[in-house]
Amino acid sequence: MHLLARRQAPSLTHRSSQWVLTTRRRGLTIRRASDARGLPFTAGKEFRPMVRTALVGAGVLLVILSFGSVALAQSDCSKIVPASPWGPNDQTGATNRVTAAVTKAAAAEIQTGKVITMSYPLVDGVPLFGSRFTKTILTAVSLAPGASFGENELTYMEDTWLSQSHVGTHLDGMGHIGRKDCYYNQTPMGKYINQNNMTKLGLEHLKSFATRGVLIDAVKVFQAAGKLKSNPACKKPCLDKGTVITGADLQAGLRMYNVTLREGDIVIIHTGWGDLFEQFPAQNATFNSGAPGIGKDAANWLVSQKVVAVGTDTWVVEVIPGENPKEAFIVHNILLTDNGIHIIENVRTDLIAAEAAATKRATFFFNMTVPKGVGMTGNFVAIDGIQ
């Protein structure tokens, strides 16, 4: 049985290297928490989450903090989130734009069949956001004497992978981010969650698809404009954290390769920040300390271009620290919540950016296979290597 406790908004403060969540009735020590922008608190700084509810049951205390906040009291979502142009039952968002005709046109990008990976290996030690985790354990080995099978002495090995879904190179689903309790297509998410899962807006509704990918090299854009300020920890040129990429910057990047966006495209932005991911674990703290990325202007321009997904080589796609310190991950709201445009984080962009520079072509065939979940890790590839 669950008991609902509603009290004054809790406060989260930094004390002795621990984050302490305090309400009027009880205190709860939380390790490895972060503030609304995903950045560590400074000593003495206080953060008041938007959500004011806690679920208590069966000896388990679940404190619900604000990251696309979830409220148990239902809001009028028709006043908070736009309706989907694909109808009240839509759960897949902008990927509805990927029709058979769009895929067929994208297939014309394949000329040599070259394949370039756009994913980082998901191994122990890579940078992870907040308190997320991933761990691989070798759990079954038959190499010991007498452990083989049959006259052919067959042996085997098997591992166990323990992980949250939003780690490594991954895609954010419609059920990941909301405004209050309202998610994509005016969905009151409080009606569709239980102890084990959510019953609406999961990635099980998203079909595998293939479309045209377009690379925008923001590093080259900023170099050409004479405004590149690289982080000294990057071994290759990169945009520094807090660098805002505007709609004008994106258009400049498209002009470099004479590309015009088409409805149904996926846009991949190279910022160079992924160089820090590749230096794990040495630069994990730097990588997670912020990020270059698109601001609201660029997000709204991408919406106007009717793209289906946006990815970058950062953990967040949008600029961190954000343009408005009072807003938390606002680009996620614009893309995911309001427009059903998927976000792909931690994309490995350096290889495809190098290929684009060498071949003077920034379009490619993008193929995605989708497993079930709220978010998913994946191995995205560019087929034909934009040649």
- Provide the token pair at 127: 């940078």
What is the mean pLDDT of the segment spanning 130-159? 77
Same domain? For 48 and 113 the reply is no
What is the mean pLDDT of the segment spanning 34-51? 37
d(CA 300, CA 80): 17
**pLDDT at 132 (0 to 100):** 64
**pLDDT at 173 (0 to 100):** 86
Last residue of a domain, one of 16, 47, 63: 63
Sheet holding 60-63, edge to edge: 3-6, 53-57, 60-63
Cβ neighbours of 336 (radius 10 Å): 27
- Provide the token pair at 6: 């509603």
Residue 71, pLDDT > 50, answer no
Same domain? For 111 and 235 the reply is yes
Tell me the backbone φ, ψ of residue 367, rounded to 5 degrees: -120, 135
pLDDT in tens, 166-220: 666 878 888 889 999 999 999 999 899 887 788 898 888 888 889 999 999 999 9
Provide the pLDDT confidence category of residue 262 given band limits of 50, 70 and 90. very high
Classify residue 139: in a domain, yes or no.
Answer: no
**pLDDT at 12 (0 to 100):** 40
Classify residue 141: in a domain, yes or no.
Answer: no
Same domain? For 186 and 330 the reply is yes
Residue 47, pLDDT > 50, answer no
Classify residue 211: in a domain, yes or no.
Answer: yes
Same domain? For 57 and 103 the reply is no
Same domain? For 232 and 315 the reply is yes
Provide the pLDDT confidence category of residue 55 given band limits of 50, 70 and 90. very low
- 48 versus 99: the higher-pLDDT residue is 99
Last residue of a domain, one of 41, 63, 85: 63
Same domain? For 200 and 342 the reply is yes
Residue 54, pLDDT > 60, answer no
Same domain? For 371 and 240 the reply is yes
Provide the pLDDT confidence category of residue 384 given band limits of 50, 70 and 90. low
Same domain? For 195 and 331 the reply is yes
Q: What is the pTM of this model?
A: 0.75
Burial pattern 7-22, b for ≥16 Cβ within 10 A else e, equals eeebebebeeeebbbe
d(CA 310, CA 293): 11
- 142 versus 387: the higher-pLDDT residue is 142
Classify residue 31: in a domain, yes or no.
Answer: yes
Classify residue 184: in a domain, yes or no.
Answer: yes
What is the mean pLDDT of the segment spanning 12-26? 39
pLDDT in tens, 195-207: 778 889 888 888 8
**pLDDT at 375 (0 to 100):** 44
Q: Quote the crossing angle between the two packed helices 296-304 and 247-256, to the nearest 10°.
A: 60
pLDDT in tens, 340-356: 999 999 999 999 999 99
Tell me the backbone φ, ψ of residue 364, rounded to 5 degrees: -160, 170
**pLDDT at 130 (0 to 100):** 66
Classify residue 155: in a domain, yes or no.
Answer: no
Same domain? For 341 and 301 the reply is yes
Cβ neighbours of 276 (radius 10 Å): 27
CATH number for the domain that contains residue 208: 3.50.30.50
d(CA 177, CA 42): 26
pLDDT in tens, 2-16: 333 333 344 444 344
- What is the average pLDDT value for the chain, to the nearest integer? 78
Whole domain around residue 10: which residue ranges? Answer: 3-63
Q: Is the dihedral of CA 217, 222, 226, 232 positive or negative?
A: negative
Classify residue 331: in a domain, yes or no.
Answer: yes
Last residue of a domain, one of 18, 41, 63: 63
Same domain? For 98 and 58 the reply is no
**pLDDT at 279 (0 to 100):** 84
Nearest by Cα to 302 from 266, 273, 330 = 266
pLDDT in tens, 60-70: 333 333 333 44
Classify residue 10: in a domain, yes or no.
Answer: yes
Same domain? For 362 and 284 the reply is yes
Provide the pLDDT confidence category of residue 338 given band limits of 50, 70 and 90. very high
Tell me what percent of the residues of the chain surpass a pLDDT of 90: 50
- Provide the token pair at 185: 């297509």
Q: What total number of domains does the chain contain?
A: 2
Same domain? For 35 and 100 the reply is no
